[in-house]
């Protein structure tokens, strides 16, 4: 559980999690999953890393206890070129709702990249990073300290797309599905070689075949749980769930967090020499050369068990009712 102390030498036992996110409705659901899991099940969150312009108020609006997780501001720009938002979840990323007046949570004065280095020095081999946004902050930490990755317990990256054959010459939809990597592909290439020398990255594909659940289940089952948190999440997804192509509900960030919290939901894993296209119309698309574990730089989670994933979501978001 979270424990803040003025004694910096106190060593707190248990799994330690840092969530690096980009502030959308899908990130909010993943963050809520981690916060609830910590409160009712088991775990510890050592930091939230939103982009610099994002004020982290959403997680505190509905969680029963005051949010004690430190917030570290991340980079507001990609290393070279930032990709404009498609406003899939609205212009504010949270459904463009009229929110109640909430006092913003003050961020720590230290930049996220520096906090990564500091925390992994303090807890070597104990920190897990869940990257739900572009990998810019992680790349910056590596540039400042090339041994940073080797001190992680694990890193999960929710990004990319697994193609049946080779990446298409022009497929806008699949390019959009790889948005997190496309937003800062250079940052991803900065991470890949070093990660291969440490522990593999768990990447989650956006395969619609393997990682979808019905929008009807999202609205009528999960969305019907009578809690403030689910009510907030329903509002955050107000725009995306009413989109014309919203018959399937396949938000990537909750799937990635589900894998972190309960690996038994994983149905298909592949080992890959993963790389990123940096030039031309296909800039930001990831490529995979599937191989054996010893030659891989990434472990790709290519599918989850639908019913097990649904059960995990329902148990987490109904926990406060028990």
User: Does residue 3 fall inside a structural domain?
Assistant: no
pLDDT score for 172: 41
Q: Which of 190, 306, 321 is nearest to 255 (CA)?
A: 306
User: Does residue 249 fall inside a structural domain?
Assistant: yes
Instruction: Give backbone dihedrals phi and psi of 211, rounded to 5 degrees, phi first.
Output: -130, 40
DSSP state of 295: G
Structure tokens at 202: 């768990």
User: Does residue 111 fall inside a structural domain?
Assistant: yes
User: Does residue 6 fall inside a structural domain?
Assistant: no
Q: Which residues contact 50 (CB under 8 A, 6 or more apart)?
A: 21, 22, 23, 56, 71, 73, 74
DSSP line for 174-225: HHHHTHHHHHSHHHHHHHHHHHTTSSPEEEE---TTTS-EEHHHHHHTGGGS
Instruction: Give backbone dihedrals phi and psi of 167, rounded to 5 degrees, phi first.
Output: -60, 140
pLDDT score for 75: 85
* Secondary structure of residue 58 in the 3-state scheme: helix
Domain count, the chain: 1
pLDDT score for 48: 59
User: Does residue 207 fall inside a structural domain?
Assistant: yes
pLDDT score for 115: 92
- Measured CA to CA in angstroms, residue 75 lies from 91, 165, 320 at distances of 19, 34, 34
C-alpha–C-alpha distance, residues 310 and 223, integer Å: 12
Q: Which of 140, 130, 137, 133 is nearest to 44 (CA)?
A: 130
User: Does residue 179 fall inside a structural domain?
Assistant: yes
DSSP state of 64: S
Query: HSE of 100 in the Cβ direction (CA atoms, 13 Å)?
Result: 6
User: Does residue 1 fall inside a structural domain?
Assistant: no
Q: Which of 119, 110, 135 is nearest to 187 (CA)?
A: 135
The parent domain of residue 267 ranges over: 16-321
Which parts of the chain have pLDDT scores under 50? 1-13, 52-62, 64, 167, 169-180, 189-190, 192-210
- Measured CA to CA in angstroms, residue 76 lies from 2, 10, 27, 184, 277 at distances of 27, 32, 17, 11, 23
**Residues forming a β-bridge with 208:** none
CATH of the domain at 219: 3.90.245.10
Q: Are 305 and 261 in contact (CB under 8 A)?
A: no
């Amino acid at each position: 559980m979270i424990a803040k102390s003025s004694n910096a030498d106190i060593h707190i036992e248990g799994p330690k999690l840092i969530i690096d996110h980009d502030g959308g409705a899908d990130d909010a659901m993943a963050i809520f999953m981690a916060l609830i899991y910590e409160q009712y099940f088991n775990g510890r969150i050592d930091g939230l890393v939103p982009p610099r312009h994002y004020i982290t108020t959403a997680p505190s609006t509905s969680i029963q206890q005051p949010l004690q997780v430190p917030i570290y501001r991340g980079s507001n720009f990609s290393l070279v070129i930032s990709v404009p938002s498609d406003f899939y979840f609205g212009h504010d990323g949270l459904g463009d709702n009229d929110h109640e007046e909430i006092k913003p949570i003050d961020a720590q004065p230290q930049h996220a990249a520096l906090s990564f280095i500091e925390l992994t020095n303090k807890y070597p081999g104990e920190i897990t990073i869940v990257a739900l946004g572009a990998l810019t902050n992680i790349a910056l930490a590596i540039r400042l300290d090339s041994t940073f990755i080797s001190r992680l317990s694990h890193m999960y990256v929710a990004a990319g797309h697994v193609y049946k054959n080779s990446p298409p010459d022009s497929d806008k939809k699949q390019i959009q599905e790889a948005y997190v990597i496309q937003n800062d592909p250079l940052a991803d290439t900065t991470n890949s070689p070093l990660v291969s020398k440490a522990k593999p990255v768990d990447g989650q594909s956006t395969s619609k075949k393997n990682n979808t659940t019905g929008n009807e289940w999202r609205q009528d089952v999960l969305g019907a749980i009578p809690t403030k948190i689910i009510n907030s999440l329903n509002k955050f997804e107000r725009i995306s769930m009413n989109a014309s192509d919203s018959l399937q509900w396949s938000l990537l960030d909750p799937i990635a967090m589900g894998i972190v919290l309960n690996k038994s939901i994983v149905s298909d894993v592949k080992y890959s020499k993963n790389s990123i296209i940096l030039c031309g119309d296909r800039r930001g698309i990831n490529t995979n050369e599937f191989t054996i574990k010893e030659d891989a730089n990434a472990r790709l989670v290519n599918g989850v068990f639908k019913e097990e994933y649904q059960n995990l979501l329902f148990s987490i978001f109904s926990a406060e009712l028990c």
